[in-house]
Chain A
Amino acid sequence: MAKPKLATCALAGCFGCHMSFLDIDERIVELIDLVDLDVSPLDDKKTFDGMVDVGIVEGACADERHVKVLREFRAQCRILVAVGACAINGGIPSLRNLAGLEACLKTAYMDGPTVEGGGLIPNDPELPLLLDKVYPVQEFVQIDHFLPGCPPSAETIWAALKALLTGTQPQLPYSLFKYE
């Protein structure tokens, strides 16, 4: 029987959730026995060639490209897990919503003490349009499981993945739930 497939994706986050996933350390060998890694920023596979069994998504949606990537990702994953505070409730990136997008852009590109000649706000068509606000992923797609934490520990991610990849419901002990 072919191994189940795992895909990962990072939207507006800090990559810390992916790093926490890598903190499974030597268990990565066990993981390779268990699954094939499909589309992921950790490898060079950039598009799906079929459904994968489990997908994990890190980060919130801050621009139109995030929404597009997330929708496509959802469509290809039988089970989708939102990992970390950014994906689940917007996390630190959503602090942008308190100040407002325009104010954030102005501060970064026009008002900085080292910005040359008054600056400008980048606006090239090559850049994706920013959303008015930063949104959690479940605003756009259905999520099957949520792993809280900033980031969730490697133990949490490992326990959840292992259960899902072997076809069981994850039963995580309360000690693995950290909202920090």
Chain B
Amino acid sequence: MSSTDGTTAPRKIVIDPVTRVEGHGKVTIRLDAAGAVEDARFHVVEFRGFERFIQGRMYWEVPLVIQRLCGICPVSHHLAAAKAMDQIAGVDRVPPTADKMRRLMHYGQVLQSNALHIFHLASPDLLFGFDAPPEKRNIIAVLERYPEIGKWAIFIRKFGQEVIKATGGRKIHPTSAIPGGVNQNLAIADRDALRARVGEIISWCTAALEHHKGYVAANRVLHESFATFPSAFMSITGEGGVMDLYDGTLRVIDAEGKALIDGASPASYRDHLIEEVRSWSYLKFPHLRGFGGDDGWYRVGPLAQINCCSAIDTPLAEAARRDFMAVGGGHPVNATLAYHWARLIVLVHCAEKIEQLLFDDDLQGTDLRAEGTRREEGIAWIEAPRGTLIHHYTVDKNDQVRSANLIVSTTHNNEAMNRAVKQVAQTDLSGKEITEGLLNHIEVAIRAFDPCLSCATHALGQMPLIVTLEDASGAVIAREVRQ
């Protein structure tokens, strides 16, 4: 790891790529002559172009193709597209079996994705410390040192993947959601195999939540202050504001908890949201229409899902939610690290929902698909593991896609991630010797949002770490690759 070379010229630090997030991105930090942070940017450096190349495809292919945006939450894209294509197919309500099969698949997906994030990607920072040597900061070290947590990591994720396979036909890139419904119900043998294990999975999810609460209690100051700032929050909620990750209306609350938008339907998304493009990132910057880029930004994801809902309809997660909200004393919880706690509550909720559905006989129904009169436009949203995901398509009379617009979860968090980076840079880096551990603090802040840059730019991959120091004229004074 490089440090300053004693120079007092303004310089720039680059973290490239950021690792243990799902995607390609890098961070540049510009320091002034005194070593204070002048600016910090989180760049997303991948571009894919799905909105254009999906044009001309037959509309029923879309749920299969579009999920290749992201191998981590393919189900969210598969289902958001299927829900939009329901509308194209003229179907406003799919049969109960189809609705519940899709829901079960979605809960399996959020379960596995939240498990992947909290255990495989984030837990090394929390268990070993932000400043731990990089060779320790990975899931293998967790497995060796904390076998119990390693067990949760492997088996909770595995269970989620098996729920997806049982409902969707494949663990990654499933195939069962089709316009108007699904093409399979839940086989009894699969149901029974999952039933036999769901109780233990719930108990492990709860144990992981309790374990994390221990971490929060032991690190209260860090937890509340690290990269924390007030913001608005956005999430889909179900009827009466109850948490519903699969379907519902949009709620946006301000930092005090006051509703800015409530009950909005998917068709109205353009009335509420607008996206700004900045030259230095492939990730757009959405904000609330009418509030402007500086005031209209908000956060999405587990923290927003918990802050926005008025209740959770499963008992263990509801108790955990009340516990969590008590921290905010009636206001939304703003701590960035609280994303992890919220993610674990949602994890518990998904496990409980999976159990409910596994004992619902509708899953063996045979009425799988509804038909209707073809329409030209379909707009749908879903609460993906990382937050609200919006798909919007128009289809011509030859059944070919004419246009597509996608606003994915991570994109909504773009402004917030940039602010978190800048804040950490300002508090932790300014005027100090720059160490590898300190740079990891920045990555920790980014990682709290669980950014899926694959989805976001509609691309993904690894992000190594290169540190470049530049003076004001852009000349490189030092450049070193982080090991």
Contacts and interface: CB of A to CB of B under 8 A. Distances in A.
Contact of B465 (A9, A46, A93, A124): A46
Nearest to A9: B462
Contact of B138 (A10, A14, A44, A106): A44
A169 to B, nearest CB: 27
A15 B26 contact: no
Contact of B71 (A96, A116, A151): A151
Contacts of A75: none
Contact of A10 (B20, B70, B286, B460): B460
A163 interface: no
Contact of A113 (B116, B143, B405): B405
Contacts of B143: 28-29, 32
Interface string B48-60: 1101111100000
B461 interface: yes
B126 to A, nearest CB: 14
B45 interface: yes
A168 interface: no
Interface string B386-418: 000000100000000001010100000000000
A120 B276 CA distance: 9
B49 A104 contact: yes
Contacts of A58: 461
Contacts of A9: 461-462
B103 interface: no
A112 B74 contact: no
Interface in A137-178: 150-151, 154
Contacts of B154: 25-26, 28
B171 A122 contact: no
Contacts of A109: 277, 284
B279 interface: yes
Interface in A28-64: 28-29, 32, 37, 39-47, 49, 58-59, 62-63
Given A28-B154, A43-B138, A124-B43, A19 B279 contact: no
B47 A22 contact: no
A58 B72 CA distance: 14
A11 B461 contact: yes
B383 interface: no
Nearest to A150: B173
A113 B270 CA distance: 7
B270 A99 contact: no
Contacts of B459: 12, 62, 93
Contact of A46 (B17, B71, B144, B275): B17
B338 interface: no
A105 B47 contact: yes
Contacts, number: 221
Interface string B282-319: 10101000000000000000000000000000000000
A16 B68 contact: yes
A15 B454 contact: yes
B276 A107 contact: no
A106 to B, nearest CB: 8
Contacts of B464: 39, 46-47
Contact of B279 (A47, A91, A116, A123): A123
Q: Is the interface of B mostly helix, strand, loop or mixed?
A: mixed
A178 to B, nearest CB: 10
A98 interface: yes
A117 B248 CA distance: 30
Given A41-B19, A114-B275, A122 B281 contact: yes
Contacts of B49: 96, 99, 101, 104-105, 107-108
B277 A119 contact: yes
Contacts of A136: none
A62 B279 contact: no
B46 A62 contact: yes
Nearest to B69: A14
B275 A14 contact: no
B158 A25 contact: yes
A114 B45 contact: no
B282 A127 contact: yes
Contacts of A45: 134-135, 138, 483
B68 to A, nearest CB: 4
Interface string B128-167: 0000001101111001100000000011011001000000
Contacts of B74: 14, 16
23 contacts: A9-B461, A13-B71, A14-B71, A16-B173, A19-B71, A22-B116, A23-B171, A28-B143, A41-B20, A41-B462, A42-B139, A43-B139, A43-B140, A92-B65, A99-B49, A99-B53, A107-B51, A107-B55, A112-B405, A115-B275, A122-B278, A124-B281, A127-B282
Interface of A: 8-20, 22-23, 25-26, 28-29, 32, 37, 39-47, 49, 58-59, 62-63, 65, 91-93, 95-96, 98-99, 101, 103-109, 112-117, 119-124, 126-128, 130, 150-151, 154
Interface of B: 17, 19-20, 22-23, 26, 28, 41, 43, 45-49, 51-55, 65, 68-72, 74, 116, 120, 124, 134-135, 137-140, 143-144, 154-155, 157-158, 161, 171-173, 269-270, 273-282, 284, 286, 392, 403, 405, 407, 440, 454, 459-466, 481-483
State the 9 A-B residue pairs at the shortest beta-carbon distance, nearest first: A16-B71, A104-B49, A41-B462, A10-B461, A46-B464, A43-B138, A124-B280, A107-B52, A92-B68
